[in-house]
Amino acid sequence: MSSKERLVVIGGVAAGMSAASSFKRMKPQDESYVLEKDHFISYGVCSLPYYISDDVKDIVSLISLTPEKATQERGITVLTRHEALRIDPAQKQVVVTDLNANETKTVSYDKLVIATGGLPVKPPLPGIDLKHIFSVRTLNDGMEIKRFIDRWTSSSDSAPERTAENRTGVRKNIMKAVIVGGGYIGMEMCESLKKRGLDITVIEKMDRVLGNMDSSVTGIVEDKLRSEGVTLRKGVSVEGFEGKDEAVTRVITDKGPCDADIVILAIGTRPNTAVARAAGVMLGAGGAITVDEFLRTNVPDILAAGDCAEATHLVTGKKVYIPLGTTANKQGRIAGENAAGARHIFEGIVGTAVTKIFDLEVARTGLSPLEADHEGYHYFVSTIQGTSRSSAYPAGKALTVTYVVEAETGRLLGAQMAGVEGVAHRIDTLAACLYNRMSIEDVARLDLGYAPPFATVWDPILIAANVALKKLQKPE
């Protein structure tokens, strides 16, 4: 073992590169190694729908750091195409396969950060391995989807039933896409594929899209989908896939088949924990790696961060698995600092998320009504329809705000919003309110900025708080 201390990080995307970088900042004289199975590191998964839609032209723009720059500018040794097979905590070694050379070797560590991320949920259904069934998780996924669509739309020999006549009389190829799952990625892919001219059907097992969000918001989203020509099949379970020449042609459901030339699996993410579990690392919420407030696991000198690790929900105080890029970056940074000797605490999350669905902004933070039910809270829901700008200023848009409020205390438990503008940043205000455990009365007293191009004199956040406060004071 070198006299220098060595951090080894398994995984080179958001959490992994954040950990390696923060360790090196604190201990520039020591060694920081990253083991990454893929060709790429440090890229933006959340931008993949916009690359597939052709809004983002170059896949390289999604990569924030290359292995060469990580070495030259940050002093990090990045080993791409290196798959971690096994961790030996007793010897403090990682057994690794160099996929390019097809060789196995060991890499020693003083501290280890597991940042193996998440894996797309891929249920063992008949036909699941047919060609043209994709997940949207890695750069390779995005490139394969875009390459397939490009080939299809440039072809002139499609079957007659897959062509249509547009307004100019020119016949064009129509690809039938089925999106399995109505969560964030599924909704974003609706817009992405629609921009590419595909015929889209969304199959969702629940009675609404966007999972646990309140119907006051999901109803708006579903209306938007239908207005954009998306076929929505709710309360439908996928039972398998059928194909021809090894390529998918139909999705089989409990409510009948659905033709498909391409299938996007968007039914969630699970933590990638096989290597950690085999090393004796404890798993917790959602099967993710159990960590304390310092992001330490139960195994000495091993920490974990990102989509493979759990986090504390600041509303409930319980451990949860909510994989988000923002959390991964924050956890990775703290894990790297603590591996370097710091004692920084990762306090937790409130589950803030925002997405764009065609021209709608949709956001949430904290608990939804379904989640509040699950946690046993006595609560009420309050919804208002506001406006993004002053009525005296043109082009203001409707904005829906829904609050979930604890009935006994008036504490804000969660919030959701939908509208064409003004949603994405307003939700951050309410996330800060949740972080500080504010009551709905506290929210109503906030001193928010006002100017006609940006808000009404009573911002929708405040209007919603005042309406909820009246419900709290005079329960129905």
The string of DSSP codes covering 302-352 is: EEE-STTB-EEBTTT-SEE----HHHHHHHHHHHHHHHTT-------B---
Active-site residue, selected from the candidate residues 46, 190, 308, 433: 46
Question: What is the pTM (predicted TM-score) of this model?
Answer: 0.92
Mean pLDDT of the chain: 93
For residue 5, which amino acid is it?
A: E
* Cα 243 from chain centroid (whole Å): 30
The whole-number average pLDDT for the span 216-233 is 96
Give me the pLDDT at residue 168, please.
Answer: 44
Pairing of strands 319-320, 379-387: unpaired
pLDDT of 165 > 60? The answer is no
So what's the pLDDT on residue 154? Answer: 78
List pLDDT tens digits, range 317-344: 999 999 999 999 999 999 999 999 999 9
Mean pLDDT to the nearest integer, 225-231: 97
Residues with Cβ within 8 Å of residue 173, at least 6 apart in sequence: 152, 153, 155, 156, 158, 162, 163
User: pLDDT by residue (tens digit) across 104-114?
Assistant: 999 999 999 99
Counting residues of the chain whose pLDDT is more than 90, the rounded percentage is: 88
Q: What is the mean pLDDT of residues 412-433?
A: 96
Token representation of residue 344: 């920084």
- Domains of the chain, with CATH numbers? 6-44+63-120+269-339 (3.50.50.60), 133-265 (3.50.50.60), 353-473 (3.50.50.60)
pLDDT tens-digit readout, 249-307? 999 999 999 999 999 999 999 999 999 999 999 999 999 999 999 999 999 999 999 99
Instruction: Decide the pairing of beta strands 360-366 and 238-244.
Output: unpaired
- Give residue-wise pLDDT tens across range 27-74: 999 999 999 999 999 988 889 999 999 999 999 999 989 999 999 999
Smallest CA-to-CA distance from 104 within 6, 175, 35, 38 is with 35
Our answer to whether residue 308 is catalytic in this structure is no
